[in-house]
Chain A
Amino acid sequence: MKTWLILLCGLVLWAVHFFVAYFIGEFIGETQGPRIAVLGLTLLCLAGVAALGVLLRSMRPEDDHDRWRRSAALGTLAISFVAIFWQGFPALFVP
């Protein structure tokens, strides 16, 4: 379980961001309040990704497998960061 958490933590954060943003838009509305909520959520998730990145970098791998796992997880965190950042834009720019 620990390995999967490490590998997927960034993508899970992306999923949380996407689905919460979607639910806000679909079920709450698109007025100023929900937009600010989505932006706040975006900042929170980006901070989460950054924190996970710091945590992963501080882990000391014991063997090749651990090294591989850490480096793959950092890669998924980078993709997640870009995807969350990009996905927050509609709340800012779409009228």
Chain B
Amino acid sequence: MTSETGFDPALYARLPVEGPRPEGEEEKLCRAWSAPKGWQHLTEVNNQYIGIYYVGTAFLFFILAGILALLMRVQLAAPLLDVLPQDTYNQVFTMHGTVMMFLFAVPAVEAVAVLLLPQMLGARDLPFPRLSAYAFWAYAIGGLCFFASLFVGLAPDGGWFMYPPLTSKAFSPGINVDFWLLGIGFIEISAIAGAIEIIVGVMRTRAPGMSLDKMPIFAWALLVFAVMIIIAFPAVILSTLLLEAERALNWPIFDVGRGGDPVLWQHLFWFFGHPEVYIIFLPAAGMMSMIIPTVARTELVGYRMIVLAMLATGFLSFGVWAHHMFTTGMPPMTTGFFSAASMAVSVPAGIQVFSWIATYATGKPRFNAPGLFTMGAVIVFVTGGLTGVMVALVPFDWQVHDTYFIVAHLHYVLIGGMVFPLFAAFYYWIPMSSAWPLSERLAKWVFTLMFAGINIAFMPMHFAGLMGMPRRVYTYLPEHGWALPNLISTIGAFMFAAGVLLFVIDLARNFRPRPGGGSAGNVYGAGTLEWLPSDLYGSRSIPVVASREPLWDDPALAQNAERGGYFLPGSVTGYRESLVTSPIRAEPQYLQVLPGRTASPFAAALFTAGFFLALTVQAYTFSIASAILALMALLRWLWETDRHVPLDNVDIGGGIMVPANVTGPMSHGWWATITLLIVIGMIFSMALFGNAFLWSNQPAFWSQPPAILPAFPVLGLNLAAVALSLGARWILRRQRQGWASAALIGATALATGALVLEHSLWRAAGFDPEMSAQAALAYTLQALQMFILVVAVLMSFNIWARVLRGLVTAPTNTSVDVAALFIAYCGAQGFVGSLFPRLLGVS
């Protein structure tokens, strides 16, 4: 067998180790992973707790947004009703869409990932438990504050995609829009934090032997999902920053009167917004592909085809963003590219649907709760997919754009593609975390009401749309003839809600969380690792994986894992630990010591939320105080990170030895840093795209940018910063910790000097950010550079402080690696950010 890291796969034959385990081994493991008590629940970072909190909060937002939907349906049940005033209706539909998309759909799948992924991969936890905790608390606190804006009449009211100029200061002078911009920007940080965790988790913490071809399909789906998040979400972060800059600082980026363009917002928003649909769909499809084989009692048909379909969806979905913009007057050939891509993306989605149908056909499907919901999902999703191909046709889209036909289409896709699979997942995986499974008898009622409800609610909307009913109207006249389809839709919505209510009743009766073991267990007879007997540390020992359904193929595996026969049956260091494996063939590489309970993630999330909230309501003193406290919490977190383990090599089971301290490209910290830099790079790339877009579309307002020659010192300083920063790693290899830290501080100083010089050059050339969109975008590039340089300053001084306290190991150190990479990136971004706007001259 080929090896990826030099590890000899023949060593796996030593496992499971026979015979009794050493006395006290299990007790030591239990001590390291002890359960929290009282207030400690706020500081817990174990995925089994955070995952349950996370799923529960996402479901709460589903209920809240669903109640808003019912309010809308009551208002539209008959013509000229006055249940909701027009302004309130605007807030309600905006919050319904926003909460469903940003606070339910994406967080729900991240939540399921946090809960399931470690167990499914055979890991003790995800590699950055504090990041998961931070992502959760930021989302929960920020989301609840955001939702509460509805109760004081300050909720956003510009629609969930917030198009300017409607949302510009001139037409939306209140702070409602600011709530959306700052709130969503903050919540997206949480989504990105979760995505980084998932990528590194899937790539580096799989059980030994779980090579890519044996990885659970849900893990594949989450990998593609997380990569899509880090590529797509930066666009919405940038666009919210730009619109907030326009509103707060009068930077006219979307103002056509000063060289801006509102269509730029649409490009940036939909570059995020359409992949978002697949970001939601893919993990749900991954859940379907896990559940259906168990329900059908056979192997998944076309595992390989589903993997390639997921990869293809991940790519092709980035070529469809402008199909939301067919009516904006884009050039015909460009429109054609997006139309073609929109049709092409249905091919990989179709591959997955046919694989599911084939799995049902070849197996013996059971019509239990997960089975019903997966079958319902296929029907509803395919219906939505078919109308999706219809609206990919440009002339048809022109006719139905912004009508209820689109509302019907998107709800079929999202409910079939995400909500039904999620309910199937609830029924399927709840026995893993709860003492009792949910009721099969009630489930049939839940499914019937929800399936009938969605079709009765949304099928008539196709007709209402074709009859010309525009979306987002708060009422209509009797003579329009829309009363009957609207009344039927309202009845359907309440049927759907009744199904959800029954589900909540079932949860109240039967869901009894058991993170520490004692769950109902593998009631459906599934074959993947999350069904191993588990405690707070996951499975007692981490098994060697030899197939995709190891529990089906090795009936003794659960027993051997439970008695500690495989990897990490105890805690070598006395702390929480996990095993890091290689990215392709999952060969054991090193022992990772995981952090235990800490207040830092909760405090950082609480005060970051306080900062954004106070900023929105213009309470600047409170905002600054919150920012300082958040910074202190983050620094504390940073300080606790990267502690040297006083062991060189440790026995992880069967006499197999791995190192306990690893740095450089092999370490999980390096991988996370690279992923973070991709996120930052994407934000920056989107800003460059904005420059090019305005240069191309608003030539009448474009001025000659400052010359390149005077910028040579800026370019040179940035290149020097890159070289010096990377040189810090070279210096450290020569055991000079102090000089390495000085190099990092010097590199940051050089990049900062470059930024100051760059700013003065634009100022000297007469560019004022309030005068033109071109100048505003140039200064936006500088603001982005300033932000990352502030982080670089903190990082370099953190290294200095660590050197003083003797925490920086030589010849290599992860903290130095991370800081060097980050500061080198700062230099590179400063170089490109200085050069690019100068290349866009007046043609």
One of B311, B335, B337, B339 near A7 (C-beta < 8 A): B311
One of A25, A64, A66 near B337 (C-beta < 8 A): A25
Chain A residues within an 8 Å CB radius of B66: none
* B20 interface hit (Cβ, 8 Å): no
* B19 interface hit (Cβ, 8 Å): no
Interface residues on B, range: 35 or more
Q: Is the CB of A82 within 8 A of B347?
A: yes
Scan B331-348; emit 1 where CB is below 8 A from any A CB, else 0: 111111101110110011
One of B2, B304, B337 near A68 (C-beta < 8 A): B304
B305, B309, B337, B339 pick with most chain A CB within 10 angstroms: B337
Chain A residues within an 8 Å CB radius of B332: 30, 90, 94-95
Scan B165-199; emit 1 where CB is below 8 A from any A CB, else 0: 00000000000000000000000000000000000
State whether A69 and B212 are in contact (beta carbons under 8 Å apart), knowing that A11-B311, A26-B696, A82-B347 are contacts in the complex: yes
In the bound complex, CA of A15 to CA of B367 (Å) = 41
In the bound complex, CA of A91 to CA of B311 (Å) = 26
* B585 interface hit (Cβ, 8 Å): yes
Q: Is the CB of A66 within 8 A of B2?
A: yes
Segment with Cβ contacts to A, from B100-108, B129-137, B314-322, B711-719:
B314-322
Scan A10-54; emit 1 where CB is below 8 A from any B CB, else 0: 011011001001100111011000110010000000000000000
Nearest CB to that of A79 among chain B residues? B312
Chain A residues within an 8 Å CB radius of B693: 26
* B1 interface hit (Cβ, 8 Å): yes
In the bound complex, CA of A72 to CA of B305 (Å) = 7
B674 to chain A, nearest CB (A): 12
* B307 interface hit (Cβ, 8 Å): yes
Nearest CB to that of B343 among chain A residues? A86
In the bound complex, CA of A22 to CA of B213 (Å) = 35
State whether A82 and B344 are in contact (beta carbons under 8 Å apart), knowing that A30-B332, A69-B212 are contacts in the complex: yes
Chain A residues within an 8 Å CB radius of B70: none
Give the A-B contact count at a CB cut-off of 8 A.
107
Chain B residues within an 8 Å CB radius of A95: 332
In the bound complex, CA of A86 to CA of B320 (Å) = 14
Q: Is the CB of B344 within 8 A of A75?
A: no
In the bound complex, CA of A38 to CA of B331 (Å) = 15
Q: Which of B193-236 contact A (CB under 8 A)?
A: 211-213
A81 to chain B, nearest CB (A): 11
Chain A residues within an 8 Å CB radius of B312: 11, 76, 79-80, 83
Q: Is the CB of A27 within 8 A of B692?
A: yes
B392 to chain A, nearest CB (A): 12
* B277 interface hit (Cβ, 8 Å): no
Chain B residues within an 8 Å CB radius of A80: 312
Scan B558-586; emit 1 where CB is below 8 A from any A CB, else 0: 00000000000000000000000000110
Chain B residues within an 8 Å CB radius of A7: 311
Q: Is the CB of A83 within 8 A of B316?
A: yes
Nearest CB to that of B1 among chain A residues? A63
Chain B residues within an 8 Å CB radius of A25: 331, 333-334, 337
* B308 interface hit (Cβ, 8 Å): yes
Q: Is the CB of B316 within 8 A of A94?
A: no
Q: Is the CB of A18 within 8 A of B319?
A: yes
One of B304, B319, B336 near A71 (C-beta < 8 A): B304
Q: Is the CB of B344 within 8 A of A90?
A: no
A45 to chain B, nearest CB (A): 13
In the bound complex, CA of A95 to CA of B372 (Å) = 48
One of B315, B337, B339 near A21 (C-beta < 8 A): B337
Chain B residues within an 8 Å CB radius of A63: 1-2
Nearest CB to that of A18 among chain B residues? B319
Chain B residues within an 8 Å CB radius of A30: 331-334
Chain A residues within an 8 Å CB radius of B341: 18, 83, 87
Q: Is the CB of B333 within 8 A of A38?
A: yes
Q: Is the CB of B311 within 8 A of A15?
A: no
Q: Is the CB of A8 within 8 A of B311?
A: yes
In the bound complex, CA of A69 to CA of B585 (Å) = 12
Chain A residues within an 8 Å CB radius of B343: 86
B1 to chain A, nearest CB (A): 6
State whether A64 and B311 are in contact (beta carbons under 8 Å apart), knowing that A18-B337, A83-B341, A87-B337 are contacts in the complex: no
Where chain A touches its partner, the secondary structure class is helix
Nearest CB to that of B312 among chain A residues? A79
B307, B318, B331, B336 pick with most chain A CB within 10 angstroms: B336
Q: Is the CB of A79 within 8 A of B337?
A: no
Q: Is the CB of A75 within 8 A of B340?
A: no
Q: Is the CB of A65 within 8 A of B212?
A: yes
Nearest CB to that of A15 among chain B residues? B315
A8, A76, A93 pick with most chain B CB within 10 angstroms: A76
Q: Is the CB of A14 within 8 A of B304?
A: no
In the bound complex, CA of A68 to CA of B303 (Å) = 10
A71 to chain B, nearest CB (A): 6
Chain B residues within an 8 Å CB radius of A35: 333
Q: Is the CB of B311 within 8 A of A94?
A: no
B819 to chain A, nearest CB (A): 24
In the bound complex, CA of A76 to CA of B693 (Å) = 32
Q: Is the CB of B308 within 8 A of A75?
A: yes
Q: Is the CB of A90 within 8 A of B311?
A: no
Q: Is the CB of B2 within 8 A of A72?
A: no
In the bound complex, CA of A89 to CA of B380 (Å) = 31
Chain A residues within an 8 Å CB radius of B337: 18, 21-22, 25, 87, 90
A11, A69, A79 pick with most chain B CB within 10 angstroms: A79
One of A12, A26, A76, A91 near B308 (C-beta < 8 A): A76
B688 to chain A, nearest CB (A): 12
A21 to chain B, nearest CB (A): 6
Nearest CB to that of B394 among chain A residues? A94
Q: Is the CB of A27 within 8 A of B696?
A: yes
One of B319, B333, B347 near A91 (C-beta < 8 A): B333
Nearest CB to that of A19 among chain B residues? B319
State whether A76 and B311 are in contact (beta carbons under 8 Å apart), knowing that A82-B344, A87-B340, A89-B336 are contacts in the complex: yes
B9 to chain A, nearest CB (A): 10
One of A3, A38, A79 near B212 (C-beta < 8 A): A3
In the bound complex, CA of A91 to CA of B308 (Å) = 28
Chain A residues within an 8 Å CB radius of B211: 65
Chain B residues within an 8 Å CB radius of A14: 315-316, 319
In the bound complex, CA of A87 to CA of B342 (Å) = 10
Chain A residues within an 8 Å CB radius of B314: 11
B102 to chain A, nearest CB (A): 26
In the bound complex, CA of A38 to CA of B585 (Å) = 40
Chain B residues within an 8 Å CB radius of A75: 304-305, 308
Q: Which of B606-661 contact A (CB under 8 A)?
A: none
Chain A residues within an 8 Å CB radius of B696: 26-27
Q: Is the CB of B336 within 8 A of A72?
A: no
One of B318, B333, B339, B347 near A79 (C-beta < 8 A): B347
In the bound complex, CA of A18 to CA of B333 (Å) = 12
State whether A94 and B333 are in contact (beta carbons under 8 Å apart), knowing that A14-B315, A65-B585, A86-B343 are contacts in the complex: yes
State whether A68 and B339 are in contact (beta carbons under 8 Å apart), knowing that A82-B344, A83-B347, A90-B333 are contacts in the complex: no
In the bound complex, CA of A35 to CA of B305 (Å) = 34
Nearest CB to that of B585 among chain A residues? A65
A93 to chain B, nearest CB (A): 8
13 intermolecular pairs with C-beta atoms under 8 Å apart: A8-B311, A8-B315, A11-B316, A15-B315, A29-B331, A38-B333, A65-B213, A71-B304, A75-B305, A79-B348, A83-B312, A91-B336, A93-B336
Apart from A76-B312, A79-B309, A86-B340, list 14 A-B contacts with CB within 8 A: A12-B315, A18-B337, A22-B334, A22-B337, A25-B333, A29-B331, A66-B2, A69-B212, A71-B304, A82-B344, A83-B344, A90-B337, A90-B340, A93-B336
Residues of A within 8 A of B (CB): 3, 7-8, 11-12, 14-15, 18, 21-22, 25-27, 29-30, 34-35, 38, 62-66, 68-69, 71-72, 75-76, 79-80, 82-83, 86-87, 89-91, 93-95
Q: Which 3 A-B pairs have the closest CB atoms?
A: A90-B336, A25-B334, A68-B213
Residues of B within 8 A of A (CB): 1-2, 211-213, 304-305, 307-309, 311-312, 314-316, 318-319, 331-337, 339-341, 343-344, 347-348, 584-585, 692-693, 696
